[in-house]
Amino acid sequence: MAIRIVPEHDIQRHSIAIAPLRLPQPRSLYRERAARLLTLAEGHAMADFLRFAARIAHHQDALVHAQPVALPDIAGLLTTCAAHELPPLSVDGWQRQPDWQALLDGLLERVRPDAGLPPAVQAAAERLAAATLAEREQWADALLAGDAAPVGPAAAPLLWAALSVYWSQLAAQLADYAAIASPDGQHALCPVCGSAPVASVVRIGDAAGLRYLHCSLCESEWHLVRSQCSHCDASRDIGYWVLDSEDAATRAESCGDCHGYLKLMRQDKDPAVDPVADDLATLALDALVEQQGYARTGPNPFLFGA
């Protein structure tokens, strides 16, 4: 299924009984993620790492409120992208505004004096702060293409954190437009920015029982039917893996066709699940599934270079 974002006057021609796209709410998302990470850290073997991620999410929340980003008029771009089934805020097509660099500066101003962060992260923040604008752009291009090597594993989560705050604020403003779904086309990448999902979530509330993939960059979610591989579309050999209990809120969904896997979180088992936070808290599950010969198909922003 392909999902396209179109100008509002086009929506009357399409059925949207199932919302194909759930746009992010950055003004609450990062705050809730920080709180979830702190909850998960209690008694966890990786408590320090989860608390580190919580501090970054806390700084992201502060950025959203201190440095709002405005989406330019993109009605014409949406028409063109919809016609060709392209994401309008594509990581390899959207011309980044200077706002993202300002967001990075704002993040670094918060990270550099933060004594609660590891020395390696503070050193990475100093390196990013000293870099030229051109170097940062080059590192961002590489990171968005999946290559963390140029910027390094300690700096990559910081760079991604700023990029995510930038893209999530842009994506949130697409609420003025409409998303439609067609039966053919890809769903493996985000229809807003073209990035891979970090995990999928079976929602409750107004989307009860529906599964949505959650973007690792812009935080948008797009619908995908359950028991179907989020990477290759196959449904013939789907398996589910858990660590301790079949009733666990987080499980890994594997595909025997492409040998890929991605985590799946169920809100009906735990309403507070967060795709990024709960993914980090269940890395032991990754180890289990990878031992069976499956490879992860989507990144977690805090694990670049790990």
Q: What is the pLDDT of residues 93-125, one digit of tens each?
A: 999 999 999 999 999 999 999 988 999 999 999
Cα(280)–Cα(276) distance, rounded to whole angstroms? 6
Following DSSP, what letter does each residue of 54-103 receive, concatenated? HHHHHHHHHHHHHS--PPP--HHHHHHHHHTT--TT-TTTS---THHHHH
Instruction: Please state, for a pLDDT cut of 90, what percent of the chain lies above it.
Output: 81
- Domain extents in the chain: 1-306
Contact 181, 20 (CB under 8 A): yes
Fold classification of 1-306 (topology level):
FdhE-like fold (3.90.1670)
Q: What is the mean pLDDT of residues 129-135?
A: 98
∠ at Cα 11 (8, 16), nearest 5°?
130
Cα(150)–Cα(205) distance, rounded to whole angstroms? 42
Instruction: Please state, for a pLDDT cut of 70, what percent of the chain lies above it.
Output: 93
Question: For residue 198, what are its two tokens?
Answer: 């970090």
> What CA–CA distances, in Å, run from 12 to 2, 16, 125, 192?
18, 9, 48, 21
Task: List, for residues 177-217, the tens digit of each pLDDT value.
Answer: 777 766 555 689 999 999 999 999 999 998 899 999 999 99
Please identify which residue in the block is written with the tokens 């028991």.
227
Strands 260-266 and 295-296, by their bridges, are parallel
Predicted pLDDT at 14: 45
pLDDT over 80 at 293, yes or no: yes
Task: List, for residues 16-67, the tens digit of each pLDDT value.
Answer: 578 899 999 999 999 999 999 999 999 999 999 999 999 999 999 999 999 9
Average pLDDT of the chain to the nearest whole number: 92
Q: What is the mean pLDDT of residues 242-271?
A: 95
> What b/e string do you get for 220-229 counting C-beta neighbours within 10 Å, with b at 16 or more?
bbbbbeeebb
Task: List, for residues 218-241, the tens digit of each pLDDT value.
Answer: 999 999 999 999 999 999 999 999
Predicted pLDDT at 186: 65
What is the rounded (10 degree) CA torsion for 165, 167, 172, 175? 170
pLDDT over 60 at 72, yes or no: yes
